[in-house]
Structure 1
Amino acid sequence: MKFVLNVIWLVLAGIWLFLGYLVAALICFITIIGIPFGIASFRIGVYALWPFGRAVVRKPTAGAGSAIGNVLWFIFAGIWLAIDHAIVGVLLCLTIIGIPLGIASFKMIPISLLPMGREIISTDDLDAAMVAYRI
């Protein structure tokens, strides 16, 4: 089922979200200061390309640098990306078949708001990560 949902997602929203995040990553890579933000944008873009069967977890080793990065990201990009995911989610939820896709778009709002200090893992590895990170 994950594969079917991922293929439908890829056609309806995934490729467009991925391309948007990829362009944002390339813009961030122009400056040295923007490189961590470009990496975060690329990571989110890959997640947006194929989201079903994957989950976002908080890294316990994230420190003050991640917090500062998240504040900057929130101000300059996060709020706009979250609004984008909310609009896409609402549009996808207008049809019965799009409801799971809309929910997936809503699930991307937290990582689009605050991506630093987060890790995207397979849902198969989620239990092990929860034990390792003591969640």
Structure 2
Amino acid sequence: MRTLLNIIWLVLSGFWLFLGYMLAALIMCILIVTIPWGIAAARIGIYALWPFGKTVVDKPTAGVGSALGNVVWVILAGWWIALEHIISGIALCVTIIGIPFGIANFKMVPVALLPLGKEIVDIP
């Protein structure tokens, strides 16, 4: 079932979200100083490409550095990626079939805004 949901997700919004994250990762890596944010964007982008069967959890070792890094992330790229999730979620909620995928988009907004200090793990 997860594979079917992931395929539908990929077609409806996953690919476009993935491209948005990869654009953010590319920009962050080009700027050299922001490479850690680029790595985080790429990691979350792969999650956005194929999200069913995975979940996001807080890293127990995340501290003040992650919090400060998230502030920089929101300013540089987080707000427009979160906006991408919101727009995609609203568009998907227009149809009955798209409602679960729209809700999944809304659940990804906090990760898009604050990716540092998070870890993506498989659901057993």
Q: What TM bracket, shorter-length normalisation?
A: over 0.9
Distance of 2:116 and 2:14 partners within structure 1 = 21
> Displaced runs of 4+ in structure 1, greater than 2 A?
none
Q: Following TM superposition, by how much is the alpha carbon of 1:16 offset from its aligned partner in structure 2, in angstroms?
A: 1.1
Structure 1 regions of 5+ residues with no counterpart? 125-135
CA RMSD of aligned residues (A): 1.0
Find the counterpart in structure 1 of residue 92 from structure 2: 92
Contact 1:52 1:104 in 2 (8 A): no
Tell me the SS of whatever aligns to 1:29: helix
**Counterpart of 1:11 in structure 2: which amino acid?**
V
Q: Following TM superposition, by how much is the alpha carbon of 1:28 offset from its aligned partner in structure 2, in angstroms?
A: 0.8
Tell me the SS of whatever aligns to 2:38: helix
Task: Indicate the larger mover: 23-32 or 93-102.
Answer: 23-32
Find the counterpart in structure 1 of residue 112 from structure 2: 112
- The percent of aligned pairs where both chains have the same amino acid is 64
Tell me the SS of whatever aligns to 1:56: strand
Find the counterpart in structure 2 of residue 103 from structure 1: 103
Tell me the TM-score normalised to structure 1 length.
0.88
Tell me the SS of whatever aligns to 2:32: coil
1:64-88 residue CA offsets vs partner (Å, 9 max, x unmatched): 2111100111122212221211110
**Counterpart of 2:118 in structure 1: which amino acid?**
R
Q: Which runs of structure 2 are paired with 1:40-51 in the superposition (5 Å)?
A: 40-51=40-51
Tell me the TM-score normalised to structure 2 length.
0.95
Q: Following TM superposition, by how much is the alpha carbon of 1:31 offset from its aligned partner in structure 2, in angstroms?
A: 2.6
Q: Following TM superposition, by how much is the alpha carbon of 1:32 offset from its aligned partner in structure 2, in angstroms?
A: 2.5
1:25-81 residue CA offsets vs partner (Å, 9 max, x unmatched): 111111331110000100110010001111100001012211110011112221222
